[in-house]
Chains A and B, each alone.
Chain A
Amino acid sequence: MKPRVNRTESAVGLLILLSLLGICIWVYERQSRFDPSVLVVTAPQQAVPERPASAPTIESPFQSLISERLSPLGAPEQFGAETLSEKINGKAELYLSSGFVSLQCQRFAKGEGGRAWLEIFVYEMGDSSGAFSVFSSQRRAEGEEVDLTRFAYRTANALFLAHGKDYVEIVGSEEALIEEILAIGKRFVDARPLAGGETGELGVFPPDGLDPASITLLSANVFGYEKLDDTYTAMYTSGKSKLMAFVSRRESSDEAANMAAAYERFLLDNGGSLIESRLNIPGVRVIQLFDMVEIFFNKGERLAGVHEADDRDAAEDLAMMLYGSLP
């Protein structure tokens, strides 16, 4: 005998079937929706495709510098002018304006686990002036001079040096690595003897009152004047006064004279006023700029002077010394 199905049972059955259909549609719709918090995290180790994966077999340019206690934490990297910002982002312009050619860098770990590691950066600049420029403009005031090159200092976790046309940074993840870092720096310098004669402009600053560690090469937009470039600055102490002297070697004596005239116009256009000189220096300009005085002159191929001095008497003394020291 055929069992009878009443209406209630049919309705319940239909309801169940419709529910199942609804669940099927929901599952189908959900599985086609991309959920990064599920799908990506299952494969977090994947590299970004458009960035070249570094092959571990690439020979390290730093192999001869590192001790057996260190092992590569990654492949060596190289960057040119077009790609430098991919490594140092907003600081790239500082290097590019100083004649940057290339950067080689690599990380090395010490011991197991990779907790202690260091990174070597070798910036090849166009010449020794470029290397000195980026070295000096980033010099840390608390840095302690290191007897590796004429321009080298260390901080608690890092070593910075300019050597020929190379500017080198070796940065550690912890202070305990500093001896390892210094050893790498020494091997780097020892492996690259220099012929001498680099950054010859440094010798033109008179020694009395000079802070030798303060000498800096500004490559572009010096003192806010976009036409003035390649200018060495140095800090002096005279009594209680702190003064900044500057020297910029131009292509010729005519160009030095033109630059002096152009710099004068720049200062006058920006609120300065020419005042009478008390100095026995041919063509010297003394410009009052708010509460400060700017003294400058051209001698041979050089534009030189004292920048934004609070103490006019001390500035005039320094300007005279500087004039006397220039060839």
Chain B
Amino acid sequence: MRSAKAGAAVALAGGVSAWLFDPEGPRAPSASESDLVTLPDFSVSGLDRKLSIIQGADRVKSLDVALKALGGIEAFVKRGDRVLVKVNAAFATPAILSATTNPDLLAEVCRRCLKAGAASVVVTDNPINDPESCFSLTGLREAAHSAGARVILPRAGFFRPTTVAGGSLIKDWPLLHTPFQGVTRLISIAPVKDHNRSGASMIMKNWYGLLGGRRNIFHQDIHNTIKELAMMVKPTLVILDGTTTMMTNGPTGGSLSDLKATNTLIVSADQVAADAVGATLLGKTVSDLPFILKAVEAGVGTADVESLRPVRASAV
């Protein structure tokens, strides 16, 4: 009798399990869902005024010095955190042209996050060119995988509409949102580049890669758009790579002669301050780049770099 009851219980459990089992798994949220989304605040309380400016030609060494100066990556990434790294993978160009995030720097950041105990590190961007080619030909896919991180390529269903609070341009616009699900820390890594429309492409402009749709219309009011992008995202940490700067013909470049060895790595929790330092590598001031002052006025950060008491050091 007992055996019969046990057998019946097992059969019942098996039946219910089979009934509840979903062989396809859940689907990504549909783009047709009209609920607006916003990104959470990924900044770490008390660390928002950190800035280090490191001189050196070796990105890995510069990163090491920069992070130590800020208390180590462990100050920003804790055990169990799920980290998203937003790279600039805009173009399907070789790494030597510096139009995209440097793969060695990406790999090192991912490794350090995982070493600090991050539960996962994902790398994403919505490139200008076809995503598959961009992540492959730039070397970013291989770099991420070699460091134990995962690459999430954008798909149509990954976008949800967003509106920037206090903004006037980014309204009900598709945002690359799905890769952020479960994420607790956000790090941006971008190169310093000249830009034909905005004058410079650095950290704040890098958030452009989170937008979907026919986003090129935003180039008509590029400075206010970059300001709103900065208002949209509150990162944990930003890494502005001025080891090699694209001085001319940005944002695509194309020739090694567009590049200059400026040997500077900027690591900060304040994205505006990082861009203010980056501007100097292009031979510009913050007044040459209206989006920086607009971001300051919007309360995103400060362009008064010295007020952050930056750590300046050499990694040579």
Contact = CB atoms under 8 A, between A and B. Distances in A.
Contacts of A40: 150, 152-153, 155, 179
Interface string B127-145: 0111111000100010000
A173 interface: yes
A8 interface: no
A289 to B, nearest CB: 20
Interface stretch (B71-79, B108-116, B195-203, B295-303): B195-203
Given A31-B25, A36-B179, A90-B219, A51 B130 contact: yes
B235 interface: no
B219 A85 contact: yes
Given A32-B22, A90-B198, A90-B251, A74 B133 contact: yes
Nearest to A50: B156
Contacts of B257: 140-143, 155-156
B256 A175 contact: yes
Interface residues of A, number: 49
A92 interface: yes
A57 interface: no
Interface stretch (A41-49, A211-219, A232-240, A256-264): A41-49
Interface string B243-277: 00000111110111110000000000000000000
List the 9 closest pairs (A to B, CB-CB), nearest first.
A173-B94, A85-B216, A155-B255, A142-B257, A140-B257, A90-B197, A155-B257, A34-B26, A89-B128
Interface of A: 24, 28, 31-37, 39-41, 44-51, 74, 85-94, 107, 117, 119, 138, 140-143, 155-158, 160, 169, 171, 173-175
Given A85-B128, A140-B257, A157-B96, A34 B29 contact: yes
25 contacts: A31-B26, A34-B27, A37-B150, A39-B28, A40-B153, A46-B153, A50-B156, A51-B130, A85-B216, A88-B128, A89-B128, A89-B252, A90-B201, A91-B250, A92-B216, A155-B255, A155-B256, A155-B257, A156-B255, A157-B97, A157-B255, A158-B254, A158-B255, A158-B256, A169-B254
B178 interface: yes
A41 B121 CA distance: 12
A39 B82 CA distance: 16
Nearest to A94: B196
Contacts, number: 142
B248 A37 contact: no
B181 interface: yes
Residue among B28, B94, B122 facing the most chain A CB atoms (10 A cut-off): B94
Nearest to B9: A17
Contacts of A143: 255, 257
Contact of A91 (B20, B154, B182, B251): B251
Interface in B147-200: 150-156, 158, 178-179, 181-182, 195-198
Contacts of B132: 45, 47
